[in-house]
Structure formats: structure tokens, C-alpha cells
Structure 1
Amino acid sequence: MATATEPFQPTSSSGSLSSAQFPQLEILDSSIPHAFLLPNKFINDGPDVSRFLVSQAYRDIGIFLMQLNRSLCPRKTSSGSGTGPSKVFPLNSADRQDPESVQRLHSLLGEIMTLIDAAPPDPGPRRFGNVSFRKWYNLLEQNVETLLKQHVSADVLGFPAPDVPDGENSRVGAIDELRSYLLGAFGSPQRLDYGTGHELSFFAFLGCLWKLGAFKDGAQGGDIERSIVLGVFEPYLKVIRKLILTYTLEPAGSHGVWGLDDHSFMPYIFGSAQFTRPITENDTMPLEGSVERAPRPGDITKSDAVERLREINMYFSAIGFINDVKKGPFWEHSPILYDISGIKDGWGKINKGMIKMFNAEVLSKFPVVQHFPFGSLFSWDVDPNAAAPQQSVHMANQPLTTTAASAASLAGSTTAPWAQTARAGGLGRPNVRLAETVDAQPAGLVSLDAVRPSGPRGTSGAQISITKAPWTK
């Protein structure tokens, strides 16, 4: 059983395992009734993030992410005379035959997108998100159960649950958990924003479907996982991008230009995996190197290369969307991506760093995971094999509620609560650079709240310093 950090712990690129030994997200036995729960919020204070990092939900997110990530890595092929050309997995490939489950989810996303036509953006002047997004979201809420019943197998939605005694509340079913994660995947109608927490909710929606056996109709050995990413997750991103453009949704919890991306993270993980060094079905994920004829990471700064590659690769597709919505020098509006583009050790190194950064910047951040709900499929229960999360800058700087902060202040100190945070490492901490971030333990990664590029791309001098505000010298 994987521990709390193992799902995100890269293994040596020289390793070789049987394909059956790679961790996979469990699929529930449909012959055994499952007690479903209405997903609820459990992360209310910063310290709750530490509890999340030892939960079964965290473990399952990590396992499923690594499972999908590895499926996109190019594969070695052999010919009669030896090793043949590598097989890569572009976004649009005639060789990929998506199973019915994936095709139906693709249609589900198509119908969700068409709801935009029924809620045109408000033409009035506005500074932030368009209020018509709330009309669109209300339409989604009204239609979500019908859409699920149309596009998800009845066997999945009717997954057996324990009988409810007479007089008690009606039974909670699979559709209740699926509905919660799907509705959480398209932004906030209250704040008119979208961010990586919503992206995580859609990822959990796919994980719930996997656990319920929705993807059993796909070929095993990586094919079904590739179909999930390329045939469902990428179309989901297209819906999101149209929502952002139509309703000018604000970034949720954005670091501004000092973050990786205003809205998404996962396409950079999956897209970098598409260009890594090829492996066999029994090889572990490569930690460096690139497939033959892969574009250089620096090509993200060339608009013609981005336009050519955005239709075949998720990383470049995400970069293309940035170019659609932002103007000016790339290094200026996307300095972290610009810095990463100078890494010399190939797409495998970038993929490794993206996974660790996701663990630090998404899963270990209170503003991102505070809205994630926990049910039975992604459970708040403690993973019995989880290791205690390591103390890090993230964990020392998690916010407290007003009540908790006041109690901490009254407990034995006249100093303000934020002064305690500063002593714990929030201020004056030593420099931590991106090269160290890539190779650090996942739970010990650092925040990118304040970063600045400071030298040629991909060099130690260009990596991330977090001791000063970006505008200081």
C-alpha cells in the first residue's frame, strides 16, 4: 500500500517492474454494497491541510495522477532487426480508439459547453467576471443529474448501496458523489472565478468513475488511461477555456504573473509526459531525457511553434491559451514557465518537477484544497499506511481562522499571531531554488508566493528565490 508521499515519489529511471506492480487506483467490487456519502468540506483551517496529507483521498489522488501520467509516456517499439521508432501519443491520433465510456463523457462535455449558448454574456460594463456565468452555472445545476444519467452507464450510477431501514433518510448513491465533483469542476458562481481547485474536482470526478468501474470497457496496459486524459480531460480543458473567454472568469487564488499558470496545472504534467524519454511497459517513469525529435522546451516562447504544437500536445495547448489571453513578452507574463523552458535535461526532468510542484503548490495549499469535498470515494479517513507529512514552508504558513488565531495569541504570547508565523519560517527563510525544488522531497517543497527569475533560463542563477518580493533587486 502506498504511503502519503509515495504516490508522488519519483522512482529511479533505471528501475524495472512488472506492469502489474505499478500502483493503480482501486476498482470497487460491484458485488459488495458500498456506503456512499454526500461529500462534505473538512478543510476549514490551515492545519487541516496536514490532516489531508495523510488521508485516503490524498493517497488516491496521487496514485491516480501517477497512473495517468505514466500512460502518456512514449513507448519503445521493437522490430525484427532490433529497436524500432518510439510510439508517441498526440492529442489527435487516428490510432487511438476510445471506448464507449470515454466517448459518452466526451459527449457529456459537449452538452455542457452548449449551455453557454443559453446564457450569453451580459453586455454591460464590468471589471471582473461576467455575471451571466451564474446563469450558466444554474443551468448546469438544473441539468447535471439528467446529463449524468444520459452519459454514464446505469450500472455505474446504480452501484449497489446498503439498504436503508424504513423511516430513515433516503439512500445516498453514486450519483450524489459524482454530482458534487462534477459541479465543483467548472468554477465558482459566487466568486466568478476558476482555478486549480476546480481542476482537481474534475480529476476527482474521473477518479470516482474509475473506482465505480466506469472504464472497464477500455483496454488495460495504459490504453484506457490515455483515453481518459486525451479523450476526456483535454476536452474538459477546452470547455473551461471557452468559459473563461466567454465570462472573463477571474483566476482563483492566482499568484498573478508569479504563478505557473492563472487557471490550470495538470496539462503541464500530462503534456510534459507526452515528450519524455520512451519506456517499455515494465520500465519506471523516466526522470530525464526526451523522446526523439521532441520540441525543445524553449519552443514555448516561439508563437509559430506553439501554434503548430498546441493541437498535438497538452503542454503547448496550455501555452497557446496563455498566448490567447495575455500579451507582451512571455518572460514577463509567465516567468516561471519561461524559466522552466531553459531546463537542459529534457522533458522527463520537467515532468518530474511538475509533479512535485503540483504536490506543493496545489495539494499542500490551503487556498486551493479548502473547498475540496470528501465523501466515500475520496475519503477524509486516515490512510493507515501514511507517513507523517514533513514540516515545510507550506505547513508553517497555513492560515488560521480568526477564532483559532485569537486562541493561539492568548495561549501564552503577547505577540500577534502573524509574528509567530514569521518566526516559524514565513519570513527571512533561506533561498530555495527551483533546481532544489525538482529534487526535494515532495512534502518539503517551497511556496511560489513570491518568486523572480534572475538569470539565463535553466541555470542555477535563473531559479526561484522566495526571500524577496518579485520587484526587489
Structure 2
Amino acid sequence: MDPPPPPTSQSSTPTAPPPSSTSNLPRLAVLPPSKTHPFHPPAKRINTGADVPHFLSSLAYHDIGVFILQLTRALCPRKLAALSSSSSGEIQTFPLDAPRSDPSPVTNLREMLHKVEAMIDEVPPQKGPRRFGNVSFRRWCEVLDERVEGLLKEYLPGVLWEGWGEGVMGEVKAYFLGGFGSAQRLDYGTGHELSFLAFLGCLWKLGVFEGEGEAQRGDGEVERSLVLGVFEPYLKVIRRLILTYNLEPAGSHGVWGLDDHAFLPYIFGSAQLTRPITDTEPMPLEGSVPGAPQPSDVAKPAAVDLYRDSNMYFSAIGFINDVKTGPFWEHSPILFDISGVKHGWGKINKGMIKMFNAEVLSKFPVVQHFPFGSLFSWDTDPEAAVPAQSVHMASHAPTNVKPPPAGSGSGTAAPWAQATQMPGSVGGVPSGPGIPYSRAPWTATGSSGPTVPRGGVPDTGPPAPTAFPRGQPGTASNQFAVPKAPWAKD
């Protein structure tokens, strides 16, 4: 049976409410312009696993969380007000391929990414088989580094450089360059993806998207343009870099992780398919928009091809299918397990946010290279709660731990709490013995296997198993047992 057509925007007639309608929901603050702002080049601060708890109590962590939730919520389908008392409300969705009127800063950033992608043609990969990344990637990074300041000055508004004075370039440039992988290690991973997100966050804080006419845009419209009009094109550049230079996964758990290179498209893509909300409602925690594909469709190549041009989740799955062979359940067991979630895309989105916090922001191998400046600050958030210590952090804990600073107590919940009620890491879901694989936080912990079909029999390869055997703790068979997503039964 052919999958249903992808959901599209069902109405564009009703006008969007003013931005003030969600003023009570968290948003990344825009700084007032000042030539005296104390910019300083972002520097490495996370040197050991013992530094991760400080990061989870920092202003940078808070701002990253607020910005991700702000972008994610903007992508949720909207209930539009009824046009008359006798008509029912309509629903508006935000697919990738729908017509948009992007603000000029978004259009400029997309053009800049096109220039960055064109540099790949200038630096062809060296020929011949290679076990690891192609060394020509180092030359590509050199070219980008040589041109980056010119590109930023050409495509970002002049007021950014004139209104903030010296130092702003150093911070903006560091996060932008950090978003394209490591020339030294010839790899790319979720830490680099996080750096590009911070680049967009820097521009938001500096008021790049507050220009003339932008304040009149509807609620979440600029945020949607940022994700669909900048972040998805950025991912396309990254995918071409990975294919061209055979970049290694950075900080990946391999088959035990969600994805070799990316994480955010799964958060943003699941948000596109959640239950519709009004402009004043918080993030939905379960349910799907009418007409959305089933989560199990990710295991069907035909369905993935149908939806990959309209949805970021399926676009990311499509790239996996482009580069990996064999049954989906075999090479992507975590994503396969998630495909059995029974409570819709809202449940998946909630779990993805939890998992991102636990497997990206709370893991030393991923965040160790994230630099801290004035815009994403290492300073302690005075309202932060003491982060829950994960097994991973405990293994790096120093013997002479100082008590938390006065006033840090229980504090305010992390920015994720509104959407997920989560602490700094996923409590009760430690990494398994042996290989520290991810455990998706939305299936019942200890489940012996998925209990709902995952799209039937895959299009290719042997049938998907209905249960994955798990060995005895501490044994080799347990180390190589397929990980379970502990949220699918909630």
C-alpha cells in the first residue's frame, strides 16, 4: 500500500497573531547594541569530564536550551482561528518545500552557504582508497578560513559590524568555522552541529533578525525561516562534505547511537509533525498532526523518499539510506526502535529533546570542543539547578569536588524542563556496560523488545525481528545486544 501524501499547509488566509502572544514563553534575549560590550574570542573550557557539570550550570547551557526549544516550538503545526463562528479552525503546517517569504538576513545566510558549498568544487578530493577521511578536506578548511571574514561581512548586515565595535567578528567567526568539522581529525559530528547552532544564536542575540520589518512578522515566523531556510541548507552542505571527503563520525557511538553525524534534524523534523497547538500553548508532548506519516514509515524506503523533501526527520533518514546498506533495523537500531512509539510525533519530539540533552550536551567527548565567549558564556547561571550526575560524568568525577556555590540549590529547572520535565541528564537511564551506547529515553526501561510493528517487512533484507535478545550483564553478548529505546511504551 502506498503511503499517504505528505501533509501540506492547509490554510494561509488567517493572519498570524502578534509576536507578543507568546511573550510568557522562553525566548533567547536580544542584547541592546553597545560598542562597549566585552567581546572576547571563544576559548576551550571543558578539559575533562569533571568540567561537564559546570557546563550544565552555565549561562551557555541555558541559552542553548532556550534557543533550541524556541526554534522547535516554532515548527509545530498551528491551529488557526476560525474565520467565522460557524466554521471550524484550520491547521497550518510548515513543510520544507512550502513557499515562504524569508527575511533578508535568512536569504543572505542561505546565499552565503551556497558560496561555502561552491568551495568544494575548488578542492577536489585526492584519488585512491582511504581508510579514514580524505586529506583534501584540510585544504578545504584552509580556503574557508581564508575567506570567512569576507563572507561574513558581505552577507551579514553592516550594522552588525558598525553597531557592536571590535571583537564581534572573533566570536561570530569561531562558531561559524566550528560548524564545518575538524580539519585535524577529518571528522564531523554533533559537536560541530552544535557550533553552527551557536552561530545562529549569536546572530539572534546581536539583533541580526530584528531589522526593519521583521518585528511585524507573525509568531515564530523568523524562527521557522531560520530552521527551514538556513539550518536545512546547512545540513545539505554538510552532507556533501561528508560524501566528498569521507568524513569520519565525531564522537559517535556507531550503531549504538542515533545517527553518525547529526541530531538536531530529528528534533526539528519531529516537531513539524506534532499535534497542532495554538500560539499560546506550550510544546505538545504527544500526538501527531492529521495526515502525518506514521513513525513506522521511517523503515520504508519508499515512504522516506516521499517525505524527505518536506520533513527534516525523513530528510535525515534519507541520507542514512543514501550511505548505508542493509536492513534499516540492523544499521540504525535506535531509530528503528523509536519508529514503534505509539503516542505520535509529539512523544518522539519530547524523547529526542531528552536524548539530545543526555547524549550530546551531557557527554564530554561531544562538548569538549565547544568554545565559550561572551555570547555563550562559561559563567554560572545564578538560577541554575544543580545538574543530575550521569554515569558518564561520574566516571570523570574528581576526588576533591567543591560544593556548589551559594544560591545554586535546587534553583530554576533547566530550559528543557517546560517541554520534557528533564534534569541535566536522563535519570535512571545510564549507559550500558561495555560500549556506552545511547538509550533513547522514551521506551519503558528494561523492555525486552519492541511490541509494535515497525512498518512491516522492510523493502530489502531479512524481516525485522520482533525482539532483540539481551545477554547477561557484564558479558560480551550484553555488550553487543541491540540497545532499547526506553520511551516507546510510556
TM over 0.5: yes
Partners of 1:343 and 1:457 within 8 A in 2 = no
Query: Equivalent residue of 1:86, what SS?
Result: strand
Which residue matches 1:185?
179
What SS does the aligned partner of 1:251 have?
strand
CA contact (8 A) 2:355 2:426 kept: no
Bigger mean CA offset, 324-333 vs 148-157: 148-157
Q: Is residue 253–residue 438 contact of structure 2 (8 Å, CA) maintained in 1?
A: no
Q: Does structure 2 retain, via aligned residues, the 8 Å contact 1:340–1:457? A: no
Match of 2:318, SS?
Answer: helix
Instruction: Show the counterpart of 1:396.
Output: 394
Q: Against the structure 1 CA distance between its residues 155 and 22, is the aligned structure 2 distance closer, same or farther, given a 3 Å change threshold?
A: same
Q: Distance in 1 between matches of 2:238 and 2:275?
A: 30
Partner of residue 306 from structure 2, selected from 302, 305, 308:
308
For residues 105 and 149 of structure 2, the distance between their equivalents in structure 1, rounded to whole angstroms, comes to 17
* Whole-angstrom CA distance in 2 between matches of 1:378 and 1:447: 28
What is the aligned partner in structure 1 of residue 76 from structure 2?
A: 73
- Pick which of 441-450 and 286-295 moved more: 441-450
Distance apart, 1:85 and its partner CA: 2.9
Corresponding position: 1:110 with 2:81: no
CA contact (8 A) 1:339 1:457 kept: no
Query: Please, what is the CA RMSD of the aligned residues?
Result: 2.4
C-alpha distance in structure 2 between counterparts of 1:158 and 1:175, whole Å: 11
CA, structure 1 residues 335+464, in 2 after alignment: closer, same or farther (shift >3 Å)?
farther
Match of 1:153 in 2: 157
Q: CA deviation at 1:30?
A: 1.2
User: Which whole-Å CA distance do the structure 1 matches of 2:251 and 2:90 have between them?
Assistant: 43
Alpha-carbon distance in 2 for matches of 1:391, 1:461: 31
Q: In 2 relative to 1, CA 466–60 (structure 1 residues): closer, same or farther, beyond 3 Å?
A: farther
Report the CA distance shift for 1:123/1:457 in structure 2 as closer, same or farther (over 3 A): farther
Aligned amino acid, residue 93 of structure 1:
A
Among 223, 234, 237, which residue is 2:235 paired with? 237
Q: 3-state DSSP class of the match of 2:91?
A: coil
Q: Deviations over 1:42-72 (max 9, x none)?
A: 0001010000011000000000000000000
Cα distance, 1:84 vs structure 2: 3.1
In the alignment, which residue of structure 2 is the partner of 1:444?
A: 426
Q: Give TM-score scaled by structure 2 length.
A: 0.80
Contact (CA 8 Å) 2:77, 2:91: kept in 1 or not?
yes
Q: Is the 8 A contact 2:42 2:373 kept in 1?
A: yes
1:197 counterpart = 2:188: no
Aligned in 2, Cα 1:247/1:89: closer, same or farther, shift over 3 Å?
same
Unmatched 5+ residue regions in structure 2? 1-19, 401-419, 440-446, 454-465, 483-490
Offset at residue 392 of structure 1 (A) = 2.4
1:286 aligned partner = 284
How far apart, in 2, do the equivalents of 1:206 and 1:250 lie?
A: 25
SS of residue paired to 2:78: coil
Q: Does 1:209 align with 2:203?
A: yes
Please list the CA deviations of residues 19-41 of structure 1 after superposition, one character each: whole Å capped at 9, or x if unmatched.
Answer: 11001101011156311011000
State the 1:154 CA deviation: 1.1
Q: Which has the higher contact order (CA 8 A, sep 6+)?
A: 1
Which shifted more, 338-347 or 151-160? 151-160
In the alignment, the residues of structure 2 paired with residue 24 and residue 226 of structure 1 have an alpha-carbon distance, to the nearest angstrom, of 14
Deviations 1:234-281 (A, max 9, x none): 000000000000000000011111100000000000000000000000
Q: Secondary structure, in 3 states, of the residue corresponding to 1:159?
A: helix
Alpha-carbon spacing, 1:363–1:139, altered in 2? closer, same or farther (3 Å): same
Paired residue secondary structure (2:184): coil
Does the 8 Å contact 1:451/1:465 carry over to 2?
no
Alpha-carbon offset, residue 124 of structure 1: 2.4
Contact 2:471 2:481 in 1 (8 A): no
Whole-Å separation in 2 of the counterparts to 1:277 and 1:395:
35
Q: Structure 1 residues 230 and 463 mapped into 2: Cα distance closer, same or farther (>3 Å)?
A: farther
1:59 partner letter: H
SS of the residue corresponding to residue 246 of structure 1 reads: helix
Alpha-carbon distance in 2 for matches of 1:137, 1:61: 26
CA distance in 1: counterparts of 2:68 and 2:469, whole angstroms:
26
Equivalent in the alignment of 2:148: 144
Distance in 1 separating the partners of 2:451 and 2:391: 25
User: Structure 2 CA distance, aligned partners of 1:159 and 1:215?
Assistant: 14
**Contact kept? 1:49, 1:366, Cα under 8 Å:** yes
Following superposition, the deviation at residue 227 of structure 1 comes to: 0.2
In structure 2, relative to structure 1, the CA distance for the partners of 1:269 and 1:39 (3 Å cut) is: same
Cα contact 1:159–1:212 (8 A) shared by 2: no
Query: Among residues 377, 380, 383, which one is paired with 2:378 in the alignment?
Result: 380
Q: Distance in 2 between matches of 1:19 and 1:181?
A: 29
**What is the rounded CA distance, in whole Å, between the counterparts of 1:201 and 1:84 in structure 2?**
39
Structure 2 CA distance for aligned equivalents of residues 292 and 342 of structure 1 = 18
How many corresponding residue pairs? 411
Does the alignment pair 1:89 with 2:94? yes
Aligned match of 1:7? none
CA contact (8 A) 1:276 1:347 kept: yes
Distance 1:27 1:250 in 2: 36
1:74, 1:278 within 8 Å by CA — same for their partners in 2? yes
Percent of matched pairs sharing the same residue: 59
Quickly say closer, same or farther: Cα 1:466–1:246, change in 2 above 3 A: farther
**Any idea what the Cα deviations from partners look like across 1:214-245, whole Å, max 9, x if unmatched?**
11133251000000000000000000000000
- Report which of the two has the higher share of helix: 1
CA distance 1:145–1:466, shift in 2 (3 Å): farther
Residue aligned with 1:83, SS: coil
Query: Which 5+ residue runs of structure 1 have no aligned equivalent?
Result: 1-16, 162-171, 412-437
Q: In structure 2, which of residues 25, 33, 36 is the aligned counterpart of residue 33 of structure 1? A: 36
2:449 equivalent to 1:455:
yes
- 1:143 is paired with a residue whose SS is helix
How far did residue 447 of structure 1 move? 4.8
